[in-house]
Amino acid sequence: MRSTTHEERAERRAERLAEYEKFIDSLVLSHNFEFNAQTVAMDPSIPMRILTNPNYIVTVWRGQLDVCLPYYTGVVPPYRYVLMNTGSPLLSDYLVVQTSYGWNVSFKTTLYAESEYTFNFEIYSHGGATLTISNTWYNPVQYTGTITKIY
């Protein structure tokens, strides 16, 4: 049995990474993807929380949004920890920009009694992502997680 060399393994690994980057590119450009949240943080005074619920997701598809995430409300401590569980049939100012690390995707939508929220995704070519949700009434909340296709 022939053993593979270090160079052959490195070449195969590079090919797999390149294929995965193409997969992430196609998800972002299709405007149909799912963000699976793994951590949430608001500011340095609040420790980062690890999220273990697999249902904490944001789904973007066909110009629409479904969101189910824990969310901090308030401007100063003590912040209130609530569940943002809603959807929106309309996204505005949808912007996709390719960067040196992957993609930036941002859009605005109206949720909960005419409050405008801005969603900004930093999507890395390896599949990881950071989501920042901003609102005029509250401090921004940041999540880390992964980007996947919609199942």
Instruction: Convert the pLDDT of each residue in 109-128 to its tens digit.
Output: 998 777 899 999 999 998 89
Cβ atoms of residues 34 and 149 within 8 Å: yes
Report cis status (omega within 30 of 0) of the bond before 78. yes
Cβ atoms of residues 39 and 143 within 8 Å: yes
Q: What are the domain boundaries of the chain?
A: 6-148
Average pLDDT over residues 82-107: 94
What per-residue confidence (pLDDT) applies to 2?
A: 64
Full-model pTM? 0.89
What per-residue confidence (pLDDT) applies to 106?
A: 97
Q: How far apart are CA 110 and CA 89, in angstroms?
A: 9
Domain 6-148 class in CATH = mainly beta
